Structure 1
Amino acid sequence: MRVVVAGGHGQIARLVLQGLAEAGHQAVGLIRNPDHAVDLLQLDAIPVLIDLEQVALDALAADLVGVDAVVFAAGAGPGSGPERKLTVDRDAAVLLADAAERAGVNRYLMVSALGADSFDPDSTDVFQIYLRAKSEADADLRRRDLDWTIIRPGGLTDDQPTGLVTLAEQTGPGSIPRADVAALVIEALLHRTAVRCQFEAISGETPINEALAAQAGAGQ
């Protein structure tokens, strides 16, 4: 497979790229900072310099021709203001979907956020705007005729992966290692499971492959 990961230098993205490359797939990371290219090359991933806040749709679509799947793992990051929550966490995700459709890429996996739909629409709080951005990006993806999967992880940690998760429409509060989120992404991509499924993800007691298969079954 040739998989393009937006937000290619993010922590989850690098784990996804590394896992795909180790499994023998072409892992392509979209980055906006050329200084980050060497980090991706060290993972045997292919860096492509694209700023999703600036790139034109046609140019992005041209870079996706021949790709089997895209992963949106980009984010404005901590310390960014409300405007960039919308331009990155929402608008860049929508742009990637538009480009995927134009390039004929049917598989789209979104890394979203637990509780995204619970945002306060009247709040000017940055976190509430972040949740709004994620919720609106997810809603845009769900309306498309793509083979999408939306993963909404809980609080992210740098703990060692357990390979055990709880997946549900609503899990309640919880945390999950970034490495387990990456493993969910890779499993869903390589085994093409949980298509047209949206779920929250926290650490639990069910092996990742079984939990994804259960989501796939529930969505049928």
Structure 2
Amino acid sequence: MRIVIAGGHGRIALLLARRLRDRGHEPVGLIRNADHAADLAAAGAQPVVLDLESSGVDAVAAVLAGADAAVFAAGGGPDSGAARKLAVDRDGAVLLADAAVAAGVRRLLVVSSMGADDFGPAEGLDADVAAGLRDDPDGLDVFTVYQRAKGAADAAVRDRDLDWTIVRPGGLVDDAPTGSVTVAASTGRGTIPRSDVAEVIAVALDQGLAIRRQFEVVSGPEPIPVALQRL
């Protein structure tokens, strides 16, 4: 399968690219910075320079044309402000979903965030952020904006006619992979290695699992394929 990964230079994305390559798939990574192309190539992914923040549906759909699946693993980054949480974590995910619909790519997997529905509705979020940026750029609760942006993006993806999967990992760590997880609509607090999140995505794509399912995932006792087959 040809699988296009938005946010291709992210840590989960690079781990995913290696796993997809090892399974015989063709990963393609979307990056903003051409200097990152060598890192994608080393991970087995074809780099494509495309900035989701400055691209429209047609441009993204052109890259998705002929793909079998798309993955949204992009993010504004831990040090970005509230405006980029909206521009990337929300609007970027919606853009990729709309481009997938336009390109006829039915399979879409989104890396979201645990508890993204617990921070209130997204209505008025843009106005709240704009007011905060105008009046007090350091006073915004950026984490709340991030969670609300993720929740809004997930709702938009669920509303599209796509074979979506929404993965909401717990606290991300760089520990060695365990290959075992707990998945549920709500798992409770926990952590998970980024490499295990990448494996969850790879298994879901490779085996066609968790279609039209949204779930949280943390480290746990169940092998990843078994846990996904139960959903």
* Alignment TM-score > 0.5, same fold: yes
Deviations 1:60-99, CA, capped at 9 Å, x for gaps: 1111110000000000011100000000000000000010
Q: Measure the CA separation in 2 of the matches of 1:185 and 1:206.
A: 16
List aligned pairs for 1:110-121, cutoff 5 A: 110-120=110-120
Alignment of 1:172 onto 2:188:
yes
Query: 2:167 maps to which residue?
Result: 151
Aligned to 1:218: none
Return the alpha-carbon distance in structure 1 between the equivalents of residues 230 and 11 of structure 2: 27
TM superposition shift of 1:22: 1.6
191-200 vs 119-128, greater mean Cα deviation: 119-128
Is 132-141 or 118-127 further displaced after alignment?
Answer: 118-127
Which residue of the partner structure matches residue 204 of structure 1? 220
Q: Report the equivalent of 1:160.
A: 176
Q: Report the CA distance between 1:120 and its aligned residue.
A: 4.3
Cα distance per residue 1:116-143 (max 9 Å; x no partner): 0111458840000000010000000111
Partners of 2:59 and 2:72 in 1: CA distance: 17
What fraction of aligned residue pairs are identical, expressed as a percent?
Answer: 60
Answer yes or no: is 1:40 the counterpart of 2:22: no
Instruction: Answer yes or no: is 1:128 the counterpart of 2:144.
Output: yes
Q: C-alpha separation between the residues in 2 aligned to 1:119 and 1:85?
A: 14
* 1:21 paired to 2:37: no
Alpha-carbon RMSD across the aligned residues, in angstroms, is: 1.1
1:86 match: 86
Amino acid in structure 2 at the alignment position of 1:166: T
Look up the match of 2:197.
181
Verify: 1:139 aligned to 2:155, yes or no.
Answer: yes
Structure 2 CA distance for aligned equivalents of residues 171 and 137 of structure 1:
21
Report the counterpart of residue 136 of structure 2 in structure 1: none
Where do 5+ consecutive residues of structure 2 fail to align?
129-139
1:102 paired residue number = 102
User: Where does the alignment leave 5 or more consecutive residues of structure 1 unmatched?
Assistant: 216-220
Cα distance between partner residues in 1 of 2:218 and 2:103:
33
Within a 5 Å distance, the mapping from 1:49-68 to structure 2 comes to 49-68=49-68
Distance 1:23 1:127 in 2: 36
| SS at structure 2 position matched to 1:118 | coil
CA distance in 2, matches of 1:147, 1:57: 19
The 2-side partners of 1:111 and 1:129 are apart by 17
